[in-house]
Amino acid sequence: MLVALLRPRFTFQRPPLAFWWFAAHVGLFTLSFLLHGVVHEEVFYYRLFYLVFLHSLALPAYQLMRYEGLAKEALVTLILSSLVVSVLMLTGIFKTIMPDRRVTFLNQNPAFLACILAIAMVALIGWVSGPEKPPRVWRYLAWPGFAILGLAVIATGTRGAVLALGVGLFAFLFRPGGYGVKLRSVGLLVFLAGTLLLLGYRSTIMVDRVEDSVEGGDLAKREVIYPTSLHMILEDPLLGWGPVQNDYEIELRVQYPNKEYLEAHNLFLEVLTGTGILGGLPFFVGLWLCFQAAWKARRGTHSITPLAMLVTALVSSMGMPWLYSKTFWLVIAYTLARRNPWEEPGAGRILPAVGSWRERGLVWNQSRPVQAIETNCSRSR
């Protein structure tokens, strides 16, 4: 963020339409809190600050990931960091075993961790199977990497992450191309789904949790939270209950042990119970624009990867409130960036020569520091 502030005319220039809708949601988020009475101010101020921070982080990320090289390296960074976490967790280093036998890393929320790893798995498959494939050695190493990430997801016992991963892999069937491409996509989907089923079948914690869901309807209290949230939406559909007051009301009705407040554990229910239809509409319009961008980006250099990562993140958000997740907003930024990439030759170089930076208008000009950037950006469009 500090580096982005050094070049505000570049990193914060002309946000895409989706960002304006998300900004409108933040404004209505604040208005809804004020209209419902100023209570639990410390929770509200923290959430508002963090939400503004995430939007401010996503916009520079969008501008930077419009460069081909930066976008690819962002995906590789996500994949490698997820692999490091998975290896450390599976080998027992910094491993935490929760009371319900679920495994996580450094006492993180197992569900949040599993969903991030699922997005990394989708990014890995998109990276090695896209139009511009990496060197062969990386393609060979991708398969054991997929297995390691899959083992880590299974170890967390998170059913929603496995479902989100399955939907994300299914999105690869919509890869543009002829019958040969479709046939390869089907074969890839069958192979990866079979691998996940085999890994899940060998995990007692995952098998037990799936059986609890199917036979006993146990969804970790979501079977109670979701109907409660729906009733609250029906009681006040237009304005909601307030973006903080809603969680306290859910806890008051559900009576979850040792909880001061309880989130809806669903992105859409969290938004609707907090700000109602009026406040949720801008947010949902922004998500729809992101989906449109991902669909149109299928014929770009990253092919189906933006769409697959977006649907994985959205399905993950069905089981947890990802409104305040950095990973979620970075996926949003990546999706929008690949719809509108820079078309400048050599723009993907991370450390070009100083002359190249000056030619592209990205070096501070003592006499006219902003004009060069604006001229360059207009030429790129």
The predicted pLDDT at position 194 comes to 86
The predicted pLDDT at position 184 comes to 83
Handedness of CA 274, 277, 278, 283 (dihedral sign): positive
- Which residue type occupies 368? R
Indicate if the pLDDT at residue 353 is higher than 50. Answer: no
Percentage above 70 pLDDT, the chain: 88
The predicted pLDDT at position 373 comes to 41
Given pLDDT bands bounded at 50, 70 and 90, which one contains residue 354?
very low
Beta carbons of 199 and 147 less than 8 angstroms apart:
yes
Please give the average per-residue pLDDT across 100-127, as a whole number.
Answer: 92
Which of 121, 131, 125, 190 has the alpha carbon at shortest distance from 156?
121
**Three-class SS state of 13:** coil
Indicate the helix (H) or strand (E) that contains 299. none
The predicted pLDDT at position 350 comes to 39
Q: CA–CA distance from 106 to each of 77, 89, 94, 96, 210 (Å)? A: 20, 9, 5, 6, 25
Given pLDDT bands bounded at 50, 70 and 90, which one contains residue 3?
low
Task: List the beta bridge partners of residue 104.
Answer: 96
23-48 pLDDT, tens digit per residue, is 999 999 999 998 887 778 889 999 99
Beta carbons of 261 and 235 less than 8 angstroms apart:
no
Give the distance from CA 170 to its chain's centroid.
17
Given pLDDT bands bounded at 50, 70 and 90, which one contains residue 355?
very low
Cβ neighbours of 195 (radius 10 Å) = 14
- Which residue type occupies 21? W
Q: Give pTM, 2 decimals.
A: 0.85
**Three-class SS state of 238:** coil
170-210 pLDDT, tens digit per residue, is 999 888 877 887 788 888 888 888 888 888 888 888 888 88
Question: According to DSSP H, which parts of 130-177 are helical?
Answer: 136-156, 159-170
The predicted pLDDT at position 113 comes to 94
Beta carbons of 283 and 21 less than 8 angstroms apart:
yes
Backbone angles phi, psi at 97, to 5 degrees: -105, 120
Using alpha carbons only, give the angle 33, 37, 39 rounded to the nearest 5 degrees: 85
Handedness of CA 334, 143, 139, 352 (dihedral sign): positive
65-75 pLDDT, tens digit per residue, is 998 889 999 99
Cβ neighbours of 326 (radius 10 Å) = 15
The predicted pLDDT at position 358 comes to 39
Given pLDDT bands bounded at 50, 70 and 90, which one contains residue 61?
very high
Which of 363 and 2 is assigned the larger pLDDT? Answer: 2
Max Cα distance, the chain (Å): 72
The predicted pLDDT at position 1 comes to 61
Please give the average per-residue pLDDT across 305-333, as a whole number.
Answer: 93
The predicted pLDDT at position 352 comes to 39
C-alpha–C-alpha distance, residues 86 and 93, integer Å: 10
Beta carbons of 242 and 32 less than 8 angstroms apart:
yes
Please give the average per-residue pLDDT across 253-263, as a whole number.
Answer: 86
Backbone angles phi, psi at 125, to 5 degrees: -65, -40
- The domain spans of the chain are 2-350
Indicate if the pLDDT at residue 14 is higher than 90. Answer: no
Indicate if the pLDDT at residue 63 is higher than 60. Answer: yes
